[in-house]
Amino acid sequence: DTEVTQTPKHLVMGMTNKKSLKCEQHMGHRAMYWYKQKAKKPPELMFVYSYEKLSINESVPSRFSPECPNSSLLNLHLHALQPEDSALYLCASSPNTRQRNTEAFFGQGTRLTVV
Amino acid sequence: DAKTTQPPSMDCAEGRAANLPCNHSTISGNEYVYWYRQIHSQGPQYIIHGLKNNETNEMASLIITEDRKSSTLILPHATLRDTAVYYCTGGYNKLIFGAGTRLAVHP
C-alpha cells in the first residue's frame, strides 16, 4: 500500500467554524508533511513531523494547528479561518527526514473553501 | 536547501521527447535532485531523483551535469497524459517547490 489518504476531499466552512483535515498512511513512514497550495502556485510547506514530533513550522498562523496522534495519522485542525485560507491542502509522507535518498508520497488533497 | 529555476512553460508534440531543464546552482554536495509532477488538481507525483550519475526509470531519465548546477528531465515519448506541471527540487528534510514548468503535450 503506497497510498496517502486524505479526508475529506472537499470542505466548505464558515469563518467561525472549527474543522479538521485528516491524513493517513500505512507505509511505516515516520515523516509527514502539510502543504498549502493556492491556484496556479506551487505547494508551500507548512509543517513537518518527524517521529510524531513537530520539527518544522514554516511560520504558519496559529489558526492552523497540526497534530500527529500516532505514526500513521496526521491531522490539521482549523479554527477561525479567513477566506484567503481557501486552498488545496496536501499531505505527504516519506520514510524519515534524515535520509536524503528517499521519495515523498502525496495524498490527493483536501480542497478547502472558507466562506 | 537548493533554490531552483525552471522555464515557466514548454510545449511538446505527442510521441516526441520532452526535455525539461532545471537550474539548481546552489545545491550542496550531497543533496539529491528530485523531480515531481502535478497533474491538474491532483497531488504531486514522484518521478525520479539523482545525486551525481544519470538515472533512468520506467517514467523518465535524469541527466545531471558534472558540476551538479543543473539537470534535465527527459520524457522519451511524451503522451497527452504527461501534460502537467513539473517541479525539480532538492532538500534534506523538507521538499521546497519552485514555480515549476507547465508542460503541454499536444497531438
What does the alpha-carbon distance between residue B106 and residue B11 come to, in Å, rounded to a whole number?
Answer: 7
Average confidence (pLDDT) over B59-75: 95
pLDDT, tens digit (0-9, with 9 covering 90-100), for A87-110: 999 999 999 877 777 889 999 999
For residue A98, the chain B residues in CB contact (below 8 A) are 93
For residue B90, the chain A residues in CB contact (below 8 A) are none
pLDDT, tens digit (0-9, with 9 covering 90-100), for A26-78: 999 999 999 999 999 999 999 999 999 999 999 999 999 999 999 999 999 99
Residue B26's pLDDT band (cuts 50, 70, 90): confident
* Contact assignment for B32 to A4 by CB distance below 8 Å: no
* Contact assignment for B87 to A105 by CB distance below 8 Å: no
CB-based burial label for A16 (10 Å; 0-12, 13-18, 19+): exposed
Do the Cβ atoms of B14 and B107 come closer than 8 Å?
yes
